[in-house]
Amino acid sequence: MLKILTLIGARPQFIKSAAISRAIRGVFSDRLEEVIVHSGQHYDANMSSVFFEELNLPSPNHHFKLSATGHSEQTAEIMLQLEKILDLENPKALLVYGDTNTTLAGALVASKNNLPLIHVEAGLRSFNKKMPEELNRILTDHCSSLLFCPSESSIENLKKEGIVHREGKCSSDAPGVYLCGDVMYDNSLYFSEKVKEGLADYLVQNNYILFTLHRPSNTDDPDRLKAIYVSLIEFAEKFEKRIVFPIHPRTKKAMMHVLTEGEWDSLRNHKFIYVTDPVSFHEMISLEKNCELIITDSGGVQKEAYFFQKPCLILRSETEWVEIIDQGVALLIDASFDDLSEKYQLLKSKKLIFPELFGDGKSAEFICDKIVKEIQ
């Protein structure tokens, strides 16, 4: 029985870990034992007990309390607390996800203790080190013994930094680097099977558009936010298309600040646009699975659009998921009605195909299998 310690601390990490925890507690229950540590990095209402129940997430075995808010203090505090847990639990490897301060703190503590580090979502790069996530990714990958990459491009990114797969038992000097697909695809398939509840009555399957907006580059620039609002209304009216808009709290606040009261009311009461409070994880899956098309600025939702074979318009000037753009099923758009409607029509007019870019929905089992085989 191989005991591994999973360190997670942000909402997306909990969601990703759900896929691997299912595999560990299912097919691998006779070979793997998992201790879950919640770093306490994020604590918000979206991570209530409902969230854990929806995801079938086991409760964390350890939960840190952090006092710091700055990036380096936060990282250092997680390191100090994690060190104590390693002494207590004595795992054979540490598993981390993505690119947060939690990820980096785990990477550093594992390295300093000569404990094999497993990194899920390895090799992603934005090539902008001003973003704290970029250095977290790079440093974590260089500390890792097992690197699980969601895409070919992430394998290539690692190669350019001298991190290449070596055969045999993994170590930080001779790491195992694997293309494993995306554990989020595992989740989407799994939960879309489970989620059977119907849509709201007024939503006709495949005949509404799902719209999400939360990125500061969109919400914190008043001119841009106003332009997005105008484009959305014009678009809905021109195409007479229902738009479901689960509104992020930050976006709601920004809109109420930027729009006039009349504008805000006309959005909320629009006959084609349904503005709703944030939806649950299950409801979101259902909305994605049944829509006609998605307009979003979220990295996660872009990918989920692909998982459910939906065309996607991305309200950003760049994306880390270049594969879906290259595949021609998603397009970057400006905050303008003309660009939005032109690219909407372009996507509608094409025959779209969605090859398996993100694995076969069994990434978690693949990852667990490699962990069992490669960790000494």
Is 166 a binder of a copy of itself (CB under 8 A)?
A: no
Which is catalytic among the residues 38, 42, 142, 214?
A: 214
User: Among residues 84 and 348, whose Cβ is nearest to a copy of itself?
Assistant: 84
Is 173 a binder of a copy of itself (CB under 8 A)?
A: yes
User: Among residues 27 and 76, whose Cβ is nearest to a copy of itself?
Assistant: 76
Q: Which of 49, 128, 260, 269 binds a copy of itself (CB under 8 A)?
A: 128
Write a three-state SS string for the chain: CEEEEEEECCHHHHHHHHHHHHHHHCCCCCCEEEEEEECCCCCCHHHCHHHHHHCCCCCCCEECCCCCCCHHHHHHHHHHHHHHHHHHHCCCEEEEECCCHHHHHHHHHHHHCCCCEEEECCCCCCCCCCCHHHHHHHHHHHHCCEEEECCHHHHHHHHHCCCCCCCCCCCCCCCEEEECCCHHHHHHHHHHHHCCCCCCCCCCCCCEEEECCCCHHHHCCHHHHHHHHHHHHHHHHHHCCEEEEECCHHHHHHHHHHCCHHHHHHHHCCCCEEEECCCCHHHHHHHHHHCCEEEECCHHHHHHHHHCCCCEEECCCCCCCHHHHHCCCEEECCCCHHHHHHHHHHHHHCCCCCCCCCCCCCHHHHHHHHHHHHCC
Is 111 a binder of a copy of itself (CB under 8 A)?
A: yes
CB of 215 to a copy of itself, least distance (A): 20
Is 49 a binder of a copy of itself (CB under 8 A)?
A: no
Is 80 a binder of a copy of itself (CB under 8 A)?
A: yes
Burial pattern 292-306, b for ≥16 Cβ within 10 A else e, equals bbbbbbbbbbbbbbb
Is 198 a binder of a copy of itself (CB under 8 A)?
A: no
Is 113 a binder of a copy of itself (CB under 8 A)?
A: yes
Is 161 a binder of a copy of itself (CB under 8 A)?
A: yes
Token pair of 340, please?
A: 């939005």
**CB neighbour class for 14 (10 Å; exposed up to 12, middle 13-18, buried from 19):** buried
| Site map 137..156 versus a copy of itself, x via CB under 8 A | -xx--xx-------------
CB of 156 to a copy of itself, least distance (A): 11
Q: Which of 30, 59, 130, 196 binds a copy of itself (CB under 8 A)?
A: 130
Stretch that binds a copy of itself, among 26-34, 90-98, 132-140, 304-312 (CB under 8 A): 132-140
Q: Which of 127, 193, 197, 349 binds a copy of itself (CB under 8 A)?
A: 127
Is 129 a binder of a copy of itself (CB under 8 A)?
A: yes
Place of tokens 């970057």: 332
User: Among residues 157 and 290, whose Cβ is nearest to a copy of itself?
Assistant: 157
User: Among residues 138 and 294, whose Cβ is nearest to a copy of itself?
Assistant: 138
Is 75 a binder of a copy of itself (CB under 8 A)?
A: yes
Q: Which of 162, 168, 198, 262 binds a copy of itself (CB under 8 A)?
A: 162
Residue 119 among the catalytic residues: no
CB of 137 to a copy of itself, least distance (A): 10
User: Among residues 68 and 347, whose Cβ is nearest to a copy of itself?
Assistant: 68
- Provide the binding-site residues for a copy of itself, judged by CB under 8 A: 70-73, 75-77, 79-80, 82-83, 104, 108-109, 111-114, 127-130, 132, 135, 138-139, 142-143, 160-162, 171-173
